[in-house]
């Protein structure tokens, strides 16, 4: 089996006008890079998922990855949990942990399917309203409904349907749950990114330490996850190089429309 993401981005990379990969700098960084220096987020998480049973842990990963996107802004959305302040993805994890501590059934698919605006406001309460609040509400309602109607309310049933195959799981996630279908049309062709779907699968694999629900075939076929943070690092390292026009836009914090030529090129070349 082959991950179709790689096939779909090939033409984008070959025809890129605004982004290029500096292969000489890439080689230099690779020679210095030690993968053992990195840590998986679970070891640093503000919430100890090991206290949850396996099915609840899976549902936690599903809920988190459903709404784990877009935290930028000024000021940053920040929440308080156990006398500490968190923003970004840590803030989202802490928000879910805080909600579980309050015995609100956020990991229950039926509850999510009827989640109200007031409910989510309380769950994600912080210094400001989180960016794209309404979009997150819609996603949680939709995913809760799909999980309830098709998978008995348990994400474990999705993994069972995929027969412990990472690529089959990716296909199910992106086909059955529309919010995970991270794709666009570029130059008349469909381009796949599937960032959050792949992140969810990776989280399952690492959380369960390659055993049980985490014993996933073809896990090595996942690609990099095309977010908006890694391109910053690749540019700083001199691996990704931008045209003067694109560099000026980014340096002046001019927002690029989703699916625009420049955005698609950044994400494809990142992968």
The phi and psi torsions of 34 (rounded to 5 degrees) equal -115, 110
User: How many CB atoms neighbour CB 264 within 10 A?
Assistant: 24
Residues 6+ apart with CB under 8 A from 53: none
Read off the tokens for 57: 């842990």
Catalytic residue among 87, 182, 203, 227: 227
The phi and psi torsions of 124 (rounded to 5 degrees) equal -105, 20
User: 227 an active-site residue?
Assistant: yes
82 sits in which H/E element: none
Residues 6+ apart with CB under 8 A from 220: none
* Helices (runs of H) and strands (runs of E) counted in the chain: 13, 6
Is 184 in contact with 260 (CB distance < 8 Å)? no
Instruction: Measure CA 271 to chain center.
Output: 14
Is 18 in contact with 262 (CB distance < 8 Å)? yes
The residues annotated as belonging to the active site are: 227
């Amino acid at each position: 089996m082959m991950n179709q993401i790689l096939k779909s981005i090939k033409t984008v990379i070959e025809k890129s006008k605004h982004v290029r990969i500096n292969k000489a700098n890439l080689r230099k960084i690779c020679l210095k890079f030690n993968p053992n220096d990195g840590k998986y987020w679970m070891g640093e998480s503000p919430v100890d998922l090991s206290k949850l049973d396996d099915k609840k842990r899976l549902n936690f990963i599903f809920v988190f990855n459903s709404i784990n996107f877009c935290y930028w802004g000024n000021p940053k959305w920040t929440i308080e949990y156990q006398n500490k302040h968190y923003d970004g993805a840590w803030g989202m994890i802490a928000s879910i942990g805080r909600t579980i501590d309050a015995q609100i059934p956020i990991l229950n698919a039926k509850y999510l399917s009827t989640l109200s605006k007031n409910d989510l406001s309380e769950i994600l309460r912080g210094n400001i309203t989180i960016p794209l609040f309404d979009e997150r509400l819609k996603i949680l309602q939709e995913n809760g409904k799909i999980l309830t109607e098709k998978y008995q309310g348990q994400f474990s049933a999705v993994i069972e349907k995929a027969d412990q195959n990472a690529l089959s799981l990716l296909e199910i996630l992106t086909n059955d749950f529309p919010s995970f279908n991270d794709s666009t049309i570029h130059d008349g062709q469909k381009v796949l990114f599937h960032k959050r779907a792949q992140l969810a699968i990776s989280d399952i694999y690492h959380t369960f330490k390659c055993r049980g629900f985490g014993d996933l075939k073809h896990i090595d076929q996942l690609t990099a996850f095309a977010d908006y943070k890694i391109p910053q690092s690749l540019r700083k390292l001199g691996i990704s190089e931008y045209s003067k026009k694109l560099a000026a836009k980014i340096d002046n914090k001019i927002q690029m429309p989703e699916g625009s030529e420049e955005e698609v090129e950044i994400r494809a070349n990142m992968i």
